[in-house]
């Protein structure tokens, strides 16, 4: 590859991985400002890169007025999430713009085959609405809850959607979706979404705490997703908080999930409030001042803070982002969480990393991240003009 081609490839790979960038931000390529300028001109000329106005809130304090992105007409990337009670899908173009998202309720006992058939139909309907076809799709990211074992490709026993335990989601999805795909864990994909579009943009070491039926963490370490040797990194929900606590679905005792996930929070209110409260209802009541609801959310925050302190002590992220169904609780959860974390985290005179709520909507963060995984994958998404 000639030097010029290598320089073009560097700029393209940064736009692929980091999303829209200003010319100045492209300094991370390691290329000089004048080289960036001429390479960008070539790529715009070739139709691979396009300029677009920066969001308004980005324009203050000398921020650039325009950002560079990959051209949007190089194909479509889809993201799919199979979650408890729902399937979701999103379609983005190659400039990383969300074109359409949709969802359908789904019974948790649905077999993986039936779930994927419905995903396939949902995608076809969405492509039709966009005036596109399967041929335009460069890949689908499929998010499943719980870890995927790296060697076998099977969903582990910690998977909260029981029909999916010991299922090879990649093989089955390939057969039923008939599109190029990448399969991953929901928390990992959500972390990618915040890295590409949200609170973690431009950062290198981030922990994304995703609260769904269980609590998982997506790690971005050194700018890349970290899944671990077996694919089970980040199972924060299965770290032990109380050795003598309740037995967890994984077989352990006193895991964080048994103390702080949505189910355990709503169950604590069964006697005082009523049966079958949803976590969204508990959060709304807490925001309206219900003391009992505030108390159980604060307790969950303290437990998550303990687990987060251990995680921080081991990995030292620069930012911790909270997403998922507990995120709307905001400071009711985060206040006690930070206090609990600060008591246990080592921070020899240093400031603890900010622990904040993510910027992306809880209903689209995973599907967006699944699409981002496709767009970041150079093999799935070759660029014609580079
Ligand atoms: Zn467990």
pLDDT of residue 62: 62
**Mind giving me the DSSP string for 207-256?**
EEEEESSSEEEEEEETTEEE--SSS-TT-GGGSBS-TTSPBPTTS-BSBH
Give distance in angstroms: CA of 45 to centre of ligand 1. 54
75-191+365-376 and 201-357 in the same fold: yes
Tell me how far apart the alpha carbons of residues 360 and 322 are, in angstroms, rounded to a whole number. Answer: 10
pLDDT at 348: 58
CA 64 – ligand 1 centroid, Å: 47
The answer to whether 232 touches 149, Cβ cutoff 8 Å, is: yes
Residues in Cβ contact with 139 at an 8 Å cutoff, skipping those fewer than 6 apart: 77, 78, 179, 180, 181, 182, 374, 377, 380, 381
Ligand 1 centroid to Cα of residue 257, in Å, is: 6
Question: Could you tell me the distance, in angstroms and rounded to a whole number, from the CA of residue 166 to the centre of ligand 1?
Answer: 17
> Where in the chain are the domains?
3-70, 75-191+365-376, 201-357
206-211 β-sheet, strand order: 224-226, 215-221, 206-211, 319-324, 355-357
**Ligand 1 centroid distance, CA of 240 (Å):** 8
For the chain, the helix, strand and coil percentages under 3-state DSSP, each to the nearest 5: 40, 20, 35
Rounded to the nearest angstrom, the distance between the alpha carbon of 288 and the centre of ligand 1 is: 32
pLDDT at 160: 74
* 10-42 pLDDT, tens digit each: 898 888 888 888 888 898 889 999 999 999 999
- Please give the residue that has the higher pLDDT: either 65 or 384: 65
- Is residue 328 helix, strand or coil? helix
CA 19 – ligand 1 centroid, Å:
35
More confident residue, 276 or 354: 354
Are 132 and 77 a contacting pair, CB within 8 Å?
no
Q: Class of 3-70 per CATH?
A: mainly alpha
pLDDT band at residue 379, thresholds of 50, 70 and 90?
Answer: low
Rounded to 5 degrees, what are φ and ψ at 340? -65, -40
Ligand 1 center from residue 254 Cα (angstroms): 7
The distance in angstroms from the start CA to the end CA of the chain is 11
- How much of the chain, in percent, has pLDDT values that exceed 90? 62
Q: Which CATH number fits domain 201-357: 3.30.420.40, 2.60.40.10, 3.30.9.10, 3.40.309.10?
A: 3.30.420.40
How many A from CA of 73 to the centre of ligand 1?
44
CA–centroid distance, 109 to ligand 1, in Å, is 21
In degrees rounded to 5, what are phi and psi of residue 56?
A: -55, -45
Task: Choose among 162, 153, 163: nearest CA to 185.
Answer: 153
Q: Is the pLDDT of residue 164 over 60?
A: yes
Q: Distance, CA 198 to ligand 1 centroid (Å)?
A: 29
CA of 184 to the centre of ligand 1 (A): 20
- What is the Å distance from ligand 1's center to 232 Cα? 13
* Class level of CATH domain 75-191+365-376: alpha beta
For the segment 292-311, what is each residue's pLDDT rounded down to a tens digit? 999 999 999 999 999 999 99
Q: Judge whether residue 273 has pLDDT over 80.
A: yes
CA–centroid distance, residue 183 to ligand 1 (Å): 23
How many angstroms is it from 246 CA to the middle of ligand 1? Answer: 10
How far is the centre of ligand 1, averaged over its atoms, from the C-alpha of 256 (Å)? 7
**Ligand 1 mean position to 354 CA, how many Å?**
27
Residue 109 near residue 210, CB atoms below 8 Å: no
Cα-to-centroid distance, 138 and ligand 1 (Å): 36
Cα 237 from Cα 190, distance rounded (Å): 16
238 Cα: distance to centroid of ligand 1 (angstroms): 4
d(C-alpha 64, C-alpha 55), whole Å: 10
What does the block give as tokens for 240? 């032990």
Taking the centre of ligand 1 as the mean of its atom positions, its distance from the CA of residue 251, in whole angstroms, is 6
Strand locations in the chain (E): 49-53, 66-70, 76-83, 86-93, 98-105, 137-144, 181-185, 206-211, 215-221, 224-226, 319-324, 355-357
Cβ(239)–Cβ(307) below 8 Å: yes
Binned at pLDDT 50, 70 and 90, residue 57 comes out as low
Contacts of 123 (CB under 8 A, 6+ apart): 78, 80, 89, 91, 137, 140, 177, 179
Q: For residues 191 and 196, give the distance between their C-alpha atoms in angstroms, rounded to a whole number.
A: 9
Question: Count of residues for the chain?
Answer: 386
The answer to whether the beta carbons of residues 110 and 158 sit under 8 Å apart is no
Mean pLDDT of 181-186: 90
What is the CA(108)–ligand 1 centre distance, in A? 19
């Amino acid at each position: 590859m000639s030097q010029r081609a290598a320089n073009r490839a560097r700029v393209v790979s940064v736009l692929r991985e980091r999303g829209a960038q200003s010319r100045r931000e492209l300094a991370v390529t390691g290329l000089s400002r004048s080289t960036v300028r001429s390479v960008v001109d070539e790529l715009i000329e070739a139709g691979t890169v396009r300029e677009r106005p920066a969001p308004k809130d980005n324009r203050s304090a000398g921020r650039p007025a325009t950002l560079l992105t990959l051209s949007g007409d190089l194909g479509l990337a889809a993201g799919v999430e199979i979650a408890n009670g729902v399937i979701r899908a999103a379609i983005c173009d190659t400039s990383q713009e969300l074109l359409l998202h949709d969802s359908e309720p789904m019974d948790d006992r649905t077999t993986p085959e039936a779930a994927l058939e419905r995903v396939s139909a949902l995608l076809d309907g969405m492509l039709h609405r966009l005036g596109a076809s399967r041929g335009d799709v460069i890949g689908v990211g499929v998010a499943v809850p719980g870890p995927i074992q790296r060697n076998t490709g099977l969903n582990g026993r910690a998977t909260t959607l029981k029909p999916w335990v010991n299922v090879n989601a990649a093989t089955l999805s390939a057969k039923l979706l008939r599109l190029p795909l990448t399969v991953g864990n929901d928390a990992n994909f959500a972390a990618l979404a915040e890295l590409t579009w949200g609170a973690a943009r431009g950062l290198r070491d981030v922990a994304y705490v995703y609260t769904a039926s269980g609590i998982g963490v997506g790690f971005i370490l050194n700018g890349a997703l970290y899944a671990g040797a077996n694919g089970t990194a980040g199972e924060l929900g299965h770290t032990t908080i109380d050795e003598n606590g309740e037995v967890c679905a994984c077989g352990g005792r006193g895991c964080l999930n048994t103390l702080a996930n949505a189910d355990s929070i709503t169950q604590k209110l069964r006697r005082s409030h009523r049966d079958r409260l949803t976590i969204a209802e508990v959060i709304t009541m807490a925001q309206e001042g219900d003391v009992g609801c505030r108390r159980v959310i604060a307790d969950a925050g303290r437990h998550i803070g303990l687990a987060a302190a251990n995680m921080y002590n081991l990995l030292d992220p620069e930012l911790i982002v909270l997403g998922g169904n507990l995120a709307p609780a905001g400071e009711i959860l985060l206040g006690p969480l930070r206090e609990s974390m600060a008591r246990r985290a080592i921070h020899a005179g240093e400031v603890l990393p900010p622990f904040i709520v993510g910027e992306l909507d809880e209903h689209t963060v995973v599907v967006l991240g699944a699409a981002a995984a496709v767009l970041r994958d150079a093999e799935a998404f070759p660029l014609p003009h580079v």
